[in-house]
Amino acid sequence: MIAGKGGLWWRQPDHSWRQIHTGDIHGLQILSDDRWRIVDKDAGVMMSSDQGQHWQVNSDIATLLKELPARPYNLEKLIHDLHTGKALFGSHLKWIWIDILALVLVFLCLTGAYLESAPFFFGL
């Protein structure tokens, strides 16, 4: 069995692979031969009691997770969000920040090369 961003995959007796759950899997626990528990990034904790044929949300664990306090926003997270642009534009528009930084970098490279070569070419 393999779990990851591409879902949950089961190796068949003929050595082929069959996907038994789609989604971004962050955890897998095999409780018995037919009872499995996974942690899906979007769906949460899910249980299967028939070797992955049917999945259902584990309501007990979902309730416990909702009761947990929110993680505090620390300095490390702030610095990361500033570097990626998420703090300024949000996660869906952070590409704007990345493009702005790329243009600034190109501008500084071109003007820096010009400033270094100007005395040589113009006798300054």
What share of the chain has pLDDT > 70, as a percent?
95
H or E, element range at 57? strand 56-57
Question: For the chain, what are the domain ranges?
Answer: 2-67, 75-122
**Distance between terminal CA atoms of the chain?**
69
Instruction: Of 43-52, 66-75, 89-98, give the range with the top mean pLDDT.
Output: 89-98
pTM: 0.49
In the chain, which residue ranges form alpha helices assigned H by DSSP?
59-67, 75-84, 86-89, 94-122
**pLDDT grade, residue 102 (50/70/90)?**
very high
25-30 and 36-40 beta bridge pairing: antiparallel
CA distance 43 to 71: 20
Q: What is the pLDDT of residue 14?
A: 93
